[in-house]
Structure 1
């Protein structure tokens, strides 16, 4: 994880992190990742939260350089993630998978889709082909919801070929919010859960809670 900069000094700068905290405190939809806080969060509150959960510096006067994520807390989060996946597989619950980072993480989530399907879980693929409005730094943009190997992603409107292993970078939860129902990907119980592979990008799972 340290070599890949998934933990330790990471590629995200302290300036970028602090900017995200400020935007989150202002409830900017671009960084809310679907959360609706019950009370007011100030940037200082978010710094303390991220220091507790991820191990970044709790010092508000630290405003430049690389941010640092604690490797031990990352491993703890991965263990919790693995336990939750194991329970889902044992209980054969329906699952919905998606990524806003398809260029790097599609293979990881597709392997999870295969493994969960093999365990008897139904991999959901609702609303494929529907349009999703996402607030970006360029304003409101419309994207198309698609699935590749059971994994949801969004595409630019001018990308017409469904099923291609490319997609747009997005932190919006809107791609998982549609209410429409379309056919589901069938489970394939003949395959073994333990055969599912996970690539090295699994370390990024712990970043999901970052504002």
Structure 2
């Protein structure tokens, strides 16, 4: 069905004077209203096409993971996506609306919060990266700032790394891919691969935890690093990886809604659940 207009945000964004951490029920409603979850903009036929591509071995959709022959049945991929993201589980539903279950989004945020609480308690080294700078940059930045505030070390990316005809840059503690002076939307694992290869060359240890999305998260998980990933319902690789235990947590959500401030209540909920300070 056609996408309907996104309604107004139902609460003040985190960091504003009127900001408050939403309850679980308030956050679920917010996710629905902003279409971060619920009836999302990604159409069903696009989702199924991506599931089919992963099952057919198209590595663009593997996000740097090594899936071998384990996911060669498109229906197995659909079953994982229905279980972990809440897409419609009927294989005969081929077009029109698809969904992300906001309850599953919040469940995953709470699992992520447990891992972030451990990172804070152990003063871990954490690496942040995004292939969706237009949507998720501020989510990663806020979590990085909160962990830094409680004594964690945020991994500094070595300078001069080149990947996919661009460079790896780090702004506000978050690694991203830049091409032609533009922050690039990318699913590629190559930028993360460059970072993880470069750190030992510079005498730096690998991170204890990675928080990322797209191929940045897939590559980190494949390297055996504890990884929290964010993924849309047309990006099945990270959900498959969570099912296999390669990625610790995959949070289902639309990863580029109309206004990135819509993610602020979600970020506040995640930080509060982890016992971390909210943005000032």
TM over 0.5: yes
Bigger helix fraction: 2
1:3 to 29, 33, 39: 33
CA distance 1:100–1:183, change in 2 (3 Å): farther
1:119 aligns with 2:150: yes
1:57 aligns with 2:88: yes
1:75 aligns with 2:71: no
What residue is the counterpart of 2:198 in the other structure? 180
What residue is the counterpart of 2:50 in the other structure? 20
1:45 aligns with 2:70: no
What's the TM-score, normalizing by structure 2?
0.59
Q: CA RMSD in A?
A: 2.1
SS in 2 for 1:129: coil
Deviation for aligned residue 1:104: 1.6
Q: Specify every segment of 5 or more residues in structure 1 that has no aligned partner in the other structure, as ranges.
A: 134-141, 160-165, 185-203
CA–CA distance in structure 2, aligned partners of residues 167 and 147 of structure 1: 10
TM superposition outliers: structure 1 runs of 4+ over 2 Å: 125-129, 181-184, 204-211
What residue is the counterpart of 1:100 in the other structure? 131
Q: Specify every segment of 5 or more residues in structure 2 that has no aligned partner in the other structure, as ranges.
A: 1-30, 205-228, 238-280
CA–CA distance in structure 2, aligned partners of residues 31 and 5 of structure 1: 24
CA distance 1:74–1:206, change in 2 (3 Å): farther
- 8 Å CA contact 1:78, 1:205 repeated in 2: no
Deviation for aligned residue 1:39: 3.2
Deviation for aligned residue 1:40: 3.0
1:130 to 161, 168, 193: 161
Q: Which whole-Å deviations, capped at 9, do the CAs of 1:91-134 have from their partners, x for residues lacking one?
A: 1111110011111211121111111111211111233331113x
